[in-house]
Amino acid sequence: MAIRVLIVDDSALVRQLLTEVLDADPGIEVIGTAADPFIARDKIKQLNPDVLTLDVEMPRMDGLKFLENLMRLRPMPVVMVSTLTEKGADVTMAALELGAIDFVTKPKLDVEKGLREYAGELIEKVKTAARARVSSAKRHDAPKTPMVLPTTYRTTDRLIAIGASTGGTEALRYVLAQFPPNAPAVVVAQHIPGGFSRAFAQRLDRETPLTVYEASDGQPITPGHAYVAPGGYHLRVERSGARWFCRIGEDEPVNRHRPSVDVLFKSVAGAAGKNAVSAILTGMGDDGARGMLALRDAGAYTLAQDEASSVVWGMPGSAVKMGAVMDIVPLEQVATRLLQQAAE
């Protein structure tokens, strides 16, 4: 049974291109298009689509306002189509917070060429969205008071590594919001394109007690700070004496991803070994499973988010099947478990 898609975009050219790209896949059928949210609202009622693609900037009603209304009244899988701009990145982060499953980018210039280049990614994300748990994609508000670590604990001895993909921007915000300001250092590989990782890191910096950076090459890794892999680059951890540093690389994608969770986890296994504490959160595919196995083999603690609380249980499920995972817990317990293990 083909996935039924409704395309919502104010540009006739974009609607045509998205229709051609998606209809080319035998597993997808574009059942309609809409030029604005008001038309879309009527077509959703008439056509009952499985997945919606939604533009951010549209006439008559802002895409975010429409998404907010949709998730309140008729929750369904939504893939945002965002412009590759600073404003587009901020709005996209807000859309994911409201419950959008994922997003694809469209360039400001030569939209036709750009969208055709993203065809494979768009098809994959629509198929993933059709299988996703919409309820797990909605914003989770973390407890108001972060956890407290024992004052006698030396956080410099521990390093927390987290990997995520689809649904991960919200899952990571929820987890890190519970970390205290003196938590061990955190390194993060979230599948995200270049141009969006900085907005993501800035949002985490605003909404969590940690100081969060988009990681830079050679940056020292210190307690109370989190380092997010830049979109389009791998993040590795290297050790020099008693200290850890970020190493940024533009070498080949791994598991089709750059940043890759496997790349980060394997580097942490080598640099931190049994001093590492790790988690693999919601995401499609199997990136991170082999890296998590390397962490477990090195004596690190390994944790996976459970299926019920994941938007997509691809990455955590693959790590579980590989025997890389020591504990499986719902999202609500991830921060507690990581900090408990870090304090032992």
| Catalytic positions, written as ranges | 165, 191, 287
Selection from 327, 340, 319 nearest residue 147 by Cα: 340
> Which single residue is written with the structure tokens 């693609």?
53
Q: CA 202, CA 204: separation in Å to the nearest integer?
A: 5
CA angle 147, 150, 154 (to 5 degrees): 115
Q: CA 313, CA 306: separation in Å to the nearest integer?
A: 8
> Which single residue is written with the structure tokens 């998404």?
67
Q: Measured over all CA atoms, what is the biggest interatomic distance in the chain, rounded to whole angstroms?
A: 64
Q: CA 148, CA 342: separation in Å to the nearest integer?
A: 12
- What is the H or E stretch that residue 290 is in? helix 289-297
Q: CA 102, CA 82: separation in Å to the nearest integer?
A: 10
Q: CA 67, CA 164: separation in Å to the nearest integer?
A: 23
Q: CA 15, CA 53: separation in Å to the nearest integer?
A: 10
**Secondary structure class of 40 (helix, strand, coil):** helix
Selection from 341, 209, 181, 191 nearest residue 276 by Cα: 341
Q: CA 134, CA 156: separation in Å to the nearest integer?
A: 38
From first CA to last CA, the distance across the chain in angstroms is: 50
Helix and strand counts by DSSP (H, E) for the chain: 13, 15
**Secondary structure class of 263 (helix, strand, coil):** helix
Report residue 187 CA to chain centroid gap.
Answer: 14
